[in-house]
Copies of this chain bind each other. A is one copy, B any other.
Amino acid sequence: MKFDDKIPIYYQIKNYIYGQIITGKLAPGEKIPAVRQLAVDLTVNVNTVQRALGELISEGILESRRGLGNFVTEDQATIEEVKHKLIMQQLHEMYENLHDLNVTDDEIVAYLRQYIKDRRTTKDGQYN
């Protein structure tokens, strides 16, 4: 997995797991891969994985069963809450940053529509 060196790896792993759960690639109640396996898959250290999982466990989206593994919460409502929270965080960050550049509400919406439209006709990768 490729990481953005401007953001802590454990934090990027946390967001990766969020994504897996929210998109259903990891289902409610499902056992997630073992920490040592995740460390191999993501080519990071076990402790780094553990730091990410620890926060997810604290938030209740994962449950730890010692000796058995880590499991996605059964509570679909918790997952929905987290999804909504993440969506709002994304919008908030983008919105605040553009407002700091004096871009108005209407301009933000217009730019977004244009971006989406352009995206369908242009090859990707120009803003990575």
Binding site for B on A (CB under 8 A): 6-8, 11, 15, 18-19, 22-23, 83, 86-95, 97-98, 100-103, 105, 108-109, 111-113, 115-116, 119, 127-128
Contacts and interface: CB of A to CB of B under 8 A. Distances in A.
A113 B95 CA distance: 11
A8 B19 CA distance: 25
Contact of A94 (B7, B8, B15, B94): B94
A101 to B, nearest CB: 5
23 contacts: A6-B8, A6-B11, A7-B7, A18-B101, A23-B101, A83-B101, A87-B101, A87-B103, A87-B111, A89-B127, A90-B94, A91-B112, A91-B115, A92-B115, A92-B128, A93-B94, A94-B94, A95-B112, A95-B115, A95-B119, A108-B112, A109-B109, A109-B112
Given A6-B8, A8-B6, A11-B6, A98 B109 contact: no
B7 A101 contact: no
A95 B116 CA distance: 9
Contact of A97 (B90, B92, B102): B90
Contact of A112 (B18, B101, B112, B127): B112
Contacts of A97: 15, 90
